[in-house]
């Protein structure tokens, strides 16, 4: 028997060290390619290497999915003792597959021997592979499809044992289905139009490569490290220099040195690491040397929740560095946007000679999204000039942008100075030079504004409520509004946070009520909108428990707001 479904949320639960990531990476692409469904997957894990409670949610649907849902349709637990941390999300409609009777005391479940390392032929079973087998069986994905994948995800030494465990899980599940204890899932949709699966981190790395990034420095810190890892992988067969340095201060200075000498460098970090870079960001502003920084946000202050998500470093990035100088802040909401804007970040940094920040978060970086093929029409733009013998690095121009030379390309010499400097680049302390140079640097903001990326508006023009969001909340707001299915709600998503695109004002002024959705505790973007446009949200929906918004949670909050009159 097959259950006809439109949408299913599968959650796999286990401890660190049980191979949840492998399950996710193995299953998600197979489900996408062989069921015709859209797939989205997101994981939550604790900051530990062994033990604890972690889970991955694989959301399979007939329409595009980009968000976390609370609902669990199928829960498979590899935990020996309890599934307590998922209790709130379990309902009578949740099918639970688990091993141990301790869980069975509280929930009705289908028991499958996942953990006992059953003798299976001449090998013992492996729990995560049995789980893979169970899901493959439920979606009737045939061995001809999954067998070739095994060697990609498992080591040679264990591949055989993994395969046998997958088959063991598969057959057990087939049998349970025949006995009508479990039901197979059957698609009712046509095939998914987006057939690429990619993490936010990979999309950013791909954008960086397409933006001509050839130099990456970092000191490891979650969740920024995932981008660093993808860049390091890409560097194996590309001319990209990867340097893991002694600290974030070094990372920032080395990247700045690289840009000065003609490279296109990126730093990857998280809020805490970025805090250490602030003096160097100010240096980049002063010497007008480009810089691209990827910041993966996680809950702070201090070490906070190292493996969870938050959007609380906007203010840090907005105000980072002493003194006043222009900057650009981007916060992509989809993989396509992440690719395009990261690529653009390099062009903007090069053109305007300012630091450009890509503000992502753990949820976005680590989740797997379906996406269209990336748009490759945007080109690498470089703005380096060949110098002549009278070259002056800070030559005064109409728009404040001085032609940028690099050492040993032309007859000039290139002098950059963190002290206030004259046009040649040498230290100068007189008031006139100071004012001239400060005005020159600030003037660049006017040109930068002309290149701002417009916010995305989705909804009917006759909306009443404007739901405003930025960065990774694109997906959850979009899905929630689709479910609410009413013309009174529209969404405005910002993927460029600074400087803001002037068009945004139109929507903000048109809104009867503005509802701001942010993953932080103080409404940082709301404050920025107030500062820039003098508008204030009527409602703040804030979440700062370390988890992303869920579609159900946001639906409840929006319904509550629309009901109160």
**Is 283 a binder of another protein (CB under 8 A)?**
yes
Rounded to 10 deg, the angle between the 474-484 and 551-563 helix axes is: 60
Query: Interface residues for another protein in 426-445 (CB under 8 A)?
Result: 426-427
Among 194, 229, 250, 527, binds another protein (CB under 8 A): 250
- Cα–Cα distance for residue pair 275/293, rounded to 1 Å: 12
Among 263, 358, 491, 504, binds another protein (CB under 8 A): 263
- Cα–Cα distance for residue pair 476/64, rounded to 1 Å: 12
Length of the chain: 565
Among 255, 466, 490, 495, binds another protein (CB under 8 A): 255
Among 215, 339, 474, 549, binds another protein (CB under 8 A): 215
- Cα–Cα distance for residue pair 543/180, rounded to 1 Å: 41
Closer Cβ to another protein, 196 or 383, answer by number: 383
CB of 246 to another protein, least distance (A): 4
Read off φ and ψ for residue 198, nearest 5 degrees.
-150, 145
Q: How many of the other CB atoms lie within 10 Å of CB of 460?
A: 11
Closer Cβ to another protein, 112 or 263, answer by number: 263
**Is 423 a binder of another protein (CB under 8 A)?**
no
The token pair that represents 304 in the structure block: 């906070």
Interface characters, 393-422, with another protein (x: CB under 8 A): -------------xxx-xxxxxxxxxx---
Among 256, 331, 452, 492, binds another protein (CB under 8 A): 256
Please report, for residues 28, 222, 283, 412, 554, the alpha-carbon distance to residue 68 in angstroms, rounded to integers and kept in the order given.
15, 20, 39, 55, 11
The region of 46-54, 148-156, 169-177, 245-253 touching another protein under the rule CB under 8 A is: 245-253
Closer Cβ to another protein, 132 or 283, answer by number: 283
**Is 247 a binder of another protein (CB under 8 A)?**
yes
The token pair that represents 478 in the structure block: 């979009």
- Cα–Cα distance for residue pair 141/501, rounded to 1 Å: 47
- Cα–Cα distance for residue pair 32/286, rounded to 1 Å: 48
**The dihedral formed by the CA atoms of 298, 306, 91 and 29, expressed in degrees to the nearest 10:** 80
Please report, for residues 282, 363, 395, the alpha-carbon distance to residue 20 in angstroms, rounded to integers and kept in the order given.
41, 16, 56
| Residue showing tokens 């960065």 | 471
**Is 276 a binder of another protein (CB under 8 A)?**
no
Among 243, 420, 423, 532, binds another protein (CB under 8 A): 243
- Cα–Cα distance for residue pair 255/245, rounded to 1 Å: 11
Closer Cβ to another protein, 247 or 446, answer by number: 247
- Cα–Cα distance for residue pair 456/248, rounded to 1 Å: 34
Closer Cβ to another protein, 277 or 469, answer by number: 277
CB of 134 to another protein, least distance (A): 48
The region of 136-144, 311-319, 369-377, 424-432 touching another protein under the rule CB under 8 A is: 424-432
**Is 110 a binder of another protein (CB under 8 A)?**
no
CB of 438 to another protein, least distance (A): 18
- Cα–Cα distance for residue pair 55/10, rounded to 1 Å: 10
Among 87, 102, 147, 241, binds another protein (CB under 8 A): 241
CB of 262 to another protein, least distance (A): 6
- Cα–Cα distance for residue pair 68/59, rounded to 1 Å: 8
CB of 260 to another protein, least distance (A): 6
Interface positions with another protein (CB under 8 A): 215, 217, 241, 243, 245-247, 249-251, 253-263, 265, 279-280, 283, 287, 406-408, 410-419, 425-427
């Amino acid at each position: 028997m097959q259950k006809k479904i439109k949408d299913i949320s599968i959650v796999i639960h286990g401890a660190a060290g049980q191979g949840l990531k492998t399950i996710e990476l193995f299953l998600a692409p197979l489900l996408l390619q062989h069921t015709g469904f859209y797939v989205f997957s997101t994981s939550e894990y604790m900051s530990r290497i062994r033990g604890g409670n972690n889970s991955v949610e694989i959301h399979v649907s007939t329409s595009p999915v980009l968000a976390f849902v609370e609902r669990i349709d199928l829960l498979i637990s590899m935990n020996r003792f309890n599934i307590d941390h998922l209790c709130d999300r379990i309902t009578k409609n949740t099918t639970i597959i688990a091993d141990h009777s301790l869980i069975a005391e509280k929930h009705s479940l289908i028991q499958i021997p996942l953990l006992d390392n059953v003798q299976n032929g001449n090998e013992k079973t492996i729990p995560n592979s049995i789980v893979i087998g169970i899901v493959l069986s439920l979606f009737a994905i045939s061995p001809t499809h999954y067998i070739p994948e095994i060697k990609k995800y498992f080591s040679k030494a264990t591949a055989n044992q993994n395969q046998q465990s997958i088959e063991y899980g598969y057959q057990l599940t087939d049998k349970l289905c025949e006995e009508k204890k479990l039901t197979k899932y059957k698609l009712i949709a046509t095939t998914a139009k987006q057939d690429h699966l990619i993490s936010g981190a990979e999309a950013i790395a791909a954008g960086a490569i397409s933006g001509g990034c050839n130099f990456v420095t970092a000191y490891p810190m979650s969740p920024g490290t995932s981008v660093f890892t993808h860049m390091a992988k890409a560097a194996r067969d590309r001319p990209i220099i990867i340097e893991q340095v002694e600290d974030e201060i070094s990372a920032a200075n080395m990247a700045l040195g690289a840009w000065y000498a003609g490279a296109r460098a990126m730093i990857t970090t998280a809020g805490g690491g970025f805090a250490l870079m602030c003096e160097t960001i100010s240096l980049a502003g002063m010497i007008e040397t480009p810089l691209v920084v990827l910041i993966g946000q996680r809950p702070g202050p201090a070490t906070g929740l190292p493996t969870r998500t938050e959007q609380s470093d906007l203010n840090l990035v907005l105000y980072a560095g002493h003194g006043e100088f222009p900057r650009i802040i981007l916060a992509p909401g989809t993989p396509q946007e992440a690719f395009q804007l990261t690529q653009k970040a390099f062009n903007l940094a090069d053109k305007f000679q300012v630091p450009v920040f890509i503000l992502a978060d753990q949820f976005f970086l680590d989740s797997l999204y379906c996406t269209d093929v990336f748009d490759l029409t945007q080109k690498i733009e470089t703005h380096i000039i060949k110098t002549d013998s009278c070259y002056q690095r800070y030559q005064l121009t109409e728009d404040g942008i001085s032609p940028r030379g690099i050492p040993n390309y032309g007859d000039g010499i290139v002098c950059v100075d963190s002290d206030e400097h004259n046009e040649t680049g040498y230290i100068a302390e007189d008031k006139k030079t100071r004012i001239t140079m400060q005005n020159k640097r600030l003037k660049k903001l006017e040109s930068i504004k002309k290149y701002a990326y417009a916010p995305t508006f989705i909804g009917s023009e006759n909306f009443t409520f404007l739901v405003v969001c930025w960065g990774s909340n694109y997906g959850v707001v979009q899905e929630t509004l689709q479910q609410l299915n009413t013309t009174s709600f529209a969404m405005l998503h910002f993927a460029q946070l600074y400087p803001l695109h002037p068009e945004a004002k139109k929507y903000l002024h048109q809104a009867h009520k503005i509802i701001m959705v942010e993953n932080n505790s103080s409404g940082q973007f709301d404050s920025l909108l107030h500062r820039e446009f003098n508008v204030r949200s009527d409602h703040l929906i804030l979440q700062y428990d370390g988890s992303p918004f869920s579609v159900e949670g946001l639906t409840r909050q929006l319904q509550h707001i629309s009901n109160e009159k």
